[in-house]
Structure 1
Amino acid sequence: MGERTVTTLEGRGQAAPHPVTEEAEDRTGQGLWPRLRTPRRPRFWFEILLIAVSYWAYSLIRNAVPEQKAEALGNADLVWQLEHHLGIAVERSVNHAMNSVTWLIIGMNYYYATLHFVVTLGVLVWLYRRHPGRYAATRLTLFAATGVALLGYYFFPLAPPRLMSGGRFVDTVLVHHTWGSMASGDLKHMSNQYAAMPSMHIGWSLWCGLTVFALAKLPWVRILALLYPLGTLTVIVATANHFWLDAVGGTLCLAFGLAVARLWYGALPYALPRRVAGMATGPALAPAKP
């Protein structure tokens, strides 16, 4: 295309300082589907509203799923038997060993209650500020993974190990009088206690770990990113909130989320450009003087 001209108060026929109009014109000519798949610059107010509404809806739906206590306890027995068959049923040993170290298990209770919120939101903010071109696809991965987890809560109600009949697990929140779980103690009536499969503590921590590992530059940050889901796995088992297989369920949910983002954007989120096309990377150009 040739150089476009603009009309200003000072005069006519001056050259536009940069080809923004051509780029906008090219985007306008795209079809609806390509435009929907093209990453756009995230808007702060919209993202805050979307995250708040999405988490509210997720909590509402999760807690609205019938608790189905008898079925959930029966499924817990089945999972426990399957893990014995697979030779991985060591959750009780881990639970008792960690519970014997008071300061450690209290810290794990608070880790379980808080970090999946704090770290996940922190990674979203970091993506928004440093990787806006990858933000929408990475956020879609998280939302899709969380959405499909609701199907697990509905179709496979599962009691956590600490609620098993005769399981001899220690409910570390009750024993140490902490608020490490929305499904224990005085808070148990605010949350569905029988929604242990899949573990989205694992799904979200893996999302955080993979995202930071793939995009961060500092080696020590990347190492911490990998250690975070491993630490979360230890915590969910030590506090008797999940079986190992719940963690497998959370991992599968994240794989589903990545597949959705890959299909929608044509690439994994981490392979997309860091910045949105046409997004300024430096100081704005000053308008040409008459």
Structure 2
Amino acid sequence: MRTRPSLRSLRSPRHPRIWFEILLIAVSYWLYSLVRNAVPEQKAAALRNADWIWSLERTVGLAFEETVNRAVNSVTWLIVSMNYYYATLHFVVTIGVLVWLFRRHPGRYAATRLVLFATTAVALLGYYVFPLAPPRLMNGNAFIDTVMLHQTWGSMASGDLKHMSNQYAAMPSMHIGWSLWCGLTICALATAPWARILGALYPMATLVVIVATANHFWLDAVGGMACLAFGVAVSCAWYGALPHRLPKQVRQSGTSRLRALRRPPALAPELTAQAGPSPAGAAETAPPRSSPPGG
């Protein structure tokens, strides 16, 4: 009779299955894109919120986005590289870290993946409650839309692709949420010093990119960090520990241990040889017993 899995067993890390993970990630990203793009493009509210953010940053003396945007745009090769960075690494690095976790840290994979999923899920709430225009779409043309100016291929913010993506879902920045997830994961689990250095630099470089390309305010990055903190809290509450503190390898499940115990042990070849012939063989080769006297 099969028993229902206990809550404790459900919360124990299991060895990830490749087909399930590919399906889960594909479906999850599809749902994320569907919900994100289903948020009504409240242009008027998004522009008002952008003006408010810009005013707040100027009040605290940290409105540096326009200066960075115009300075980097003056170096064509640099701004074009940043445009492609913004359009591609967001996906490439995140998927790469997931694959690395799957192969090298299976015991920590599920908990770390839950951080990413919870971070992304709560970000959808931000898109609903606080529509925000990116700096490049603000009124007054104070910022340079580097994607449109240089016609970056593949960007969801240019050409026909911009109609497939909600242009007013800038708060929080998932470029920062995901890149910080990648960076912290690499710094916590990688052993090579160069890998840790790259892990630390990746979210910093992403912050420069989102500001230089006028796709986000720096306060959007703060929103992304807050979403990541929520994701970490959810994972810790479920697994009872930070992901990097969980065992690297998955422990053998109770079912697997039971099957191993039920399996008859195999004798080593040398023990089999020392055991001699089987009883049938022994009967064939044993010398005949002599008859008792008088038989």
Scaled by the length of structure 2, what TM-score is found? Answer: 0.85
Q: Give 1:257's aligned residue.
A: 231
**1:81-107 CA distance string (max 9 Å, x none):** 111111110000000000000000000
1:227 aligned onto 2:201: yes
Q: Give 2:217's aligned residue.
A: 243
Question: What SS does the corresponding residue of 2:115 show, helix, strand or coil?
Answer: helix
Given that residues 127 and 169 in structure 2 are in contact (C-alpha distance below 8 angstroms), is that contact kept between their aligned partners in structure 1? yes
Q: Give 1:147's aligned residue.
A: 121
Deviation, 1:167, is: 4.3
Given that residues 112 and 180 in structure 1 are in contact (C-alpha distance below 8 angstroms), is that contact kept between their aligned partners in structure 2? no
CA RMSD of superposed structures (Å): 2.0
Amino acid at match of 2:266: A
**1:89-130 CA distance string (max 9 Å, x none):** 000000000000000000000000000100000000000000
| Unpaired stretches in structure 1, ≥5 consecutive residues | 1-27
Given that residues 151 and 158 in structure 2 are in contact (C-alpha distance below 8 angstroms), is that contact kept between their aligned partners in structure 1? no
1:129 aligned onto 2:70: no
For 2:153 and 2:87, the matched residues in 1 are separated by 7
Equivalent residue for 1:164, pick from 121, 138, 147 = 138
1:270 aligned onto 2:248: no
Given that residues 173 and 180 in structure 1 are in contact (C-alpha distance below 8 angstroms), is that contact kept between their aligned partners in structure 2? no
Given that residues 174 and 224 in structure 2 are in contact (C-alpha distance below 8 angstroms), is that contact kept between their aligned partners in structure 1? yes
**1:233-273 CA distance string (max 9 Å, x none):** 00000000000000000000000000000000000101100
Equivalent residue for 1:211, pick from 182, 185, 205 = 185
Given that residues 173 and 185 in structure 1 are in contact (C-alpha distance below 8 angstroms), is that contact kept between their aligned partners in structure 2? no
Given that residues 177 and 227 in structure 2 are in contact (C-alpha distance below 8 angstroms), is that contact kept between their aligned partners in structure 1? yes
Given that residues 40 and 136 in structure 1 are in contact (C-alpha distance below 8 angstroms), is that contact kept between their aligned partners in structure 2? yes
Deviation, 1:32, is: 1.4
For 1:37 and 1:104, the matched residues in 2 are separated by 46
How many positions carry a matched residue from both structures? 260
Distance of aligned partners of 1:30 and 1:267 in 2 relative to their CA distance in 1, 3 Å threshold? farther
For 2:25 and 2:144, the matched residues in 1 are separated by 34
Equivalent residue for 2:66, pick from 76, 85, 92 = 92
Deviation, 1:185, is: 3.0
For 1:110 and 1:120, the matched residues in 2 are separated by 16
1:184 aligned onto 2:154: no
1:101 aligned onto 2:75: yes
The within-5 A match list for 1:47-86 is 47-86=21-60
Deviation, 1:31, is: 6.1
For 1:278 and 1:67, the matched residues in 2 are separated by 49
For 1:233 and 1:174, the matched residues in 2 are separated by 20
Equivalent residue for 2:20, pick from 42, 46, 50 = 46
Question: What SS does the corresponding residue of 2:252 show, helix, strand or coil?
Answer: coil
Amino acid at match of 2:79: I
Q: Give 2:11's aligned residue.
A: 37
Deviation, 1:179, is: 2.7
| Unpaired stretches in structure 2, ≥5 consecutive residues | 273-295
Scaled by the length of structure 1, what TM-score is found? Answer: 0.86
Between the aligned residues of both structures, percent identity stands at 73
